[in-house]
């Protein structure tokens, strides 16, 4: 483990590059955690979002997600509150029950960004979704137990955090029901 302090390499509008030893990595200019939501309907479907991602120049299927504390005046926003806000903004759903699943790093060889995944249940539609003014999000619902088949049938590209979230949510739901 290296205790070398990072040195700046580049600073952009949204991200900067740092160097620690011989390793360069990206950091968000607002050092806040990300949240991802595995939102499961009463019918057993998971709510997914699809949006164009400029770094890969294509649309990607993802969990609803976003940054915590990225709104002026709400920099100390609790992670679950950020998750609630992002779920409503991106999908139009609110949830009655929230469970924190796990926290990990989105791509630890590239960035120091952490993401906390939540399970959202007891969903009710309260808005159109679609994201904020800077986003063009399409909302999908797919069978929780068959998301890979759903993705393949669409020849869709997925954010792999989607699979981590589905695994963590499935484990939480299974353990709640007394499964092994």
The pLDDT value recorded for residue 134 is 80
Averaged pLDDT, groups of 10, the chain, 180 residues long: 82 91 88 92 97 94 93 88 96 98 93 95 93 88 96 95 96 83
Q: Return the domain boundaries, the chain.
A: 32-176
- Architecture (CATH level 2) of domain 32-176: Alpha-Beta Complex (3.90)
Q: What is the DSSP string of 113-177?
A: -EEEEEEEEEEEE-S----STT---EEEEEEGGGHHHHHHHTT--B-THHHHHHHHHHHHHHHHT
Please give the Cα distance from 39 to 119 (Å, whole number): 6
The pLDDT value recorded for residue 32 is 79
The pLDDT value recorded for residue 133 is 79
């Amino acid at each position: 483990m290296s205790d070398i302090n990072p040195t700046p390499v580049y600073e952009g509008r949204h991200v900067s590059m740092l160097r620690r030893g011989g390793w360069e990595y990206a950091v968000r200019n607002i050092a806040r955690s990300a949240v991802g939501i595995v939102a499961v309907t009463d019918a057993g479907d998971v709510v997914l979002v699809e949006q164009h991602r400029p770094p890969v120049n294509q649309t990607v299927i993802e969990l609803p997600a976003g940054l915590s504390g990225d709104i002026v005046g709400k920099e100390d926003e609790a992670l679950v509150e950020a998750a609630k806000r992002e779920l409503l903004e991106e999908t139009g759903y609110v949830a009655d029950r929230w469970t924190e699943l796990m926290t990990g790093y989105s791509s630890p060889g590239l960035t120091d960004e952490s993401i906390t995944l939540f399970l959202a249940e007891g969903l009710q539609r309260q808005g159109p979704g679609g994201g904020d003014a800077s986003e063009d999000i399409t909302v999908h619902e797919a069978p929780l137990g068959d998301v890979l088949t759903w993705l393949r049938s669409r020849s869709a590209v997925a954010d792999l955090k989607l699979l981590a979230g589905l695994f963590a949510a499935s484990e939480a739901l299974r353990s709640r029901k007394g499964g092994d």
